Structure 1
Amino acid sequence: MEDKELFKGLIQKAEALYTMGDFEFALVFYHGGHKLWPELQEFRLGIQKVQEAIDNSVGSPSSVKLENKGDLSFFHKADEVTKGWPKGLIHPLRREMRQQNKKTAKQLLGELYSDKEYLEKLLKDEDLVKGKMRAGERLQDLILNCFIYLDTRTEFWRQQKPIYARERDRKLMQQRWNKTRQNPPSDPTRFVLKSLEEIDAALTAGNAESSLKKAREVLKLIQCWSEEVVPNKKEVLGNLHSCIGNALIDLGEMDKALDSHQKDLDLARQCKLPEAKSRALDNVGRVYARIGKFPQAIDAWEEKIPLACGGLERTWLFHEIGRCYLELKRHTEARDYGVRSLAVADEIADEKWQRNACVLVAQSEMKLCNFKSSVAHFERALDRAKVLQDDPARDAIQKVT
């Protein structure tokens, strides 16, 4: 069987399990497919939607704080209803009392909702539920199993909704979208700053998908506004392209990330914004370095040098450029940038970057056969590693020396 047919079959299997409500097994197949074909978006989106369904169904215990206050009569009534019910079973009437919105369940179940109401009536007939089928199965168990199935279907369609919104929801969303485009918030600046903070917070928390979604939504919104509403519109758009690019880097989509950061760079050059240009060149260089295009990374980072602010940014920048030259076996340039990085690290007394710069210089000198200088820098790097109590770095340096 060809790979093309194999991955299609795997997707169909995962989708079937998902539709049946077997989310955990569906997740196994999506993860398996993603491992074999990481470039295919279908598996990554499948993992995302199944994980969302599981999270929505199970939830996080740490996110719920229970408090014993307020009107608890609801639960006392439920206790009265279920008095005498077999231990371990949830009485259907109590389950129904816990429903926050019967209207929602009716909408989700459609024609099956009338079956659910019929089952409720049957459960009220005590003589009936005590009866047995010909095979010996109790009617009570049969009715309860049907009830559980309908509740499972209700929850299943509730999980579906965030990813595959129904036609009505799409129309309502479009109406709200059009209204928002026509009527920007009363304080656009505050809205933009708050949105950027939320986007950055999501990415910092490791939720790249949420950060990316939010950034794209805000980008589309602001693209529809005039410069009268957002005077620094292009600067804001550049910021959003930068956020999108960073989220895509975390998701491993390097080509798309490079495109977003390049858009940020184009806007920065167009508007003559040195800080934005520095940020964009920084990110463009990162992407190129990550995908092994070291000459392009060097070009971006060397253009950034005059824009670098502060010692920490400069020592990092010199070090990364030197590393790229080392990868290209241009050892003299690697050493020179390593020396520049070390000089700045000494100026700001940053022990971590002193160690990193010393290792870069030592490796470059060793390739240039300047062994005395190489040993001296390795020894200094080892000393910095001990001060930082960085055991892995210390062990690695000791092996080299």
Structure 2
Amino acid sequence: MEEKQLYGGLTVYRERGVYLRRLEQFVKAKAACDEAYKNNPDNVRLLITRSQVCADAVQPQQAYDDAELALKLEPSNMKARKVQANAMYTMSDFERSIVMNYRGARDRQQPPYFTEGISQGLETLQDCIGEHAGNVMLDFYPLIKQQAEHKDNHSIAKTHVSRIPKLEVKKKFTQMEARKHSTLARVLAMKYLGPMAYDKFFLQQLDEDPRISSANSKGSRKLEAHIKEALTSLSERQEMLRTQRPYYTIKRAEKSESKYLTKYRKEILEQERKVDAYNAERLLRKVDVCLRQNNIMDLISKAERMQIFLDTKTPRTLPDKDLYIDRLYRTVGEGYLSLYRLSYRFSDRHNSRRIAFLMGMQVRPSSYDSVVAKFPYKFSNIKTATERLLAQLDMCENSNMRCWLMFELSWLMNKEKNYPLAKFYAKRCQAQAQEIGSTVWWLNACFMLMSGDMQQGNTHEVLAQIEEAYNFADNLLAPDQVKAFLLKCATVASSTTLADDNKAIRDRQKQILRVIDDQKIRTETGVLFKRMWTVPRGRQFNVLPKGEHILAPQSERRRARQRGLSIVPGPEKRIALPPISSVLGFQIFDI
């Protein structure tokens, strides 16, 4: 059964397309025009409307094709000529656009569509190759010469061609080159797109955001398609505007500004430099305060905040940026090194557990240990963090920052039990630290090497590294704290491996189950032990042999706590009896 056609479908869909074009909903407007084209493909008015919609949607080729088709049906249609000339201008064919506008201006003077098109085309030619462009070849002669030399070096014919294929390695951007590239891209977007540049920046960040890929795969694909479509449309519009007015024309126009405006911009730049320098010093003082208080968790968070601040600045607005980066990561290195210290208030066992915790071994440290309480935990996805650190390491040029990045990578690899790669980054960190003469980062990398070897049980390697670090620590201003920690590490590494109490408790439970002869009682006891592991450690009854000890005096809050409270449901308790007054003849009733 054939589909019943809509009465007056051509007019309905065409007018709908005109209405949606006014609302700047070009995709829906084009769909309405396509539906009208199915009803009557030879309607000139429809073809002109669709050509205008395509021109507004930055699809100049289709706009030109529709206008040309309309001119074939009606060669004397001035509106179709105007749309075709505008499409040629949008396609960057400025010369043909001017010719077509001149031809239209002979036949129609008013409205001044063709006259305006002629003026627009001539002005664009002046911007590209005319007076407005200036002396492009002379202004950019060093850059042109550099590109020509680079091209000549690569175009030299090779006398010998090897049959073994050679992998071509592309040179990566340095940190400065990447910063210049990103800054130039943002400047170009702001010059040509105006406020729409912020939409482009948002879409670029959204395109790289891993949260776009979710469990809803169909919705994720649709969202990714919308993002790419919008980003492509903005990029094409920017490229079209750049073709109509090149960047060198904009730069020349900026140079011809008044001296008062130049003086005003110079004063603004000086004020911005003062404000940025003040903020950098303020953030560094906060980092130093955290270091003096041995609060490494806050130190790392403050350092990340300052790094975000430095990433937004350029050497033009913050001339001493490299100096601030050096000061920041020297402080971070001292903060990490301050973790490796002993506490003389603790017993020998507590210090051993602190060392085992810092070396990444599976122990349960004391909750009141200051190192454990202020340890900089990384609550992030290790894979994502590793990719981010590697990307920063490829572009990083500051030596202290490179030491920090390699130290973080070694720490992450040790956490992932990837000990060979952790050792590789720790060795690189030591080599970089020796180049800049940084004893602090060399010792931090040495502790990462000790951590990996101690987790693997390589006692001899650990002792060799301790001996080397003990001699290297003499370069510090106050080496006593680090040396005492190293001596204690040697004692811990030489003794038996620290094990968690959980393993001993499980072994004791297995021994108890083996002694029980009755199968039913053994099964019930095994279920009881499993349920015990769901109870916090402080509320479990002990299965290990222990001597009697004198109970410490309990506080009022501890004495008043509910006995037997746990997450395991127990037997139901009876409702307490109402309180009875000791006064004769008086009773309290529960109403």
Please give the range of the TM-score, normalised by the shorter of the 2 chains: 0.3 to 0.5
**Structure having the higher Rg:** 2
- Provide the TM-score with structure 2 as the length reference: 0.24
More helix by share: 1
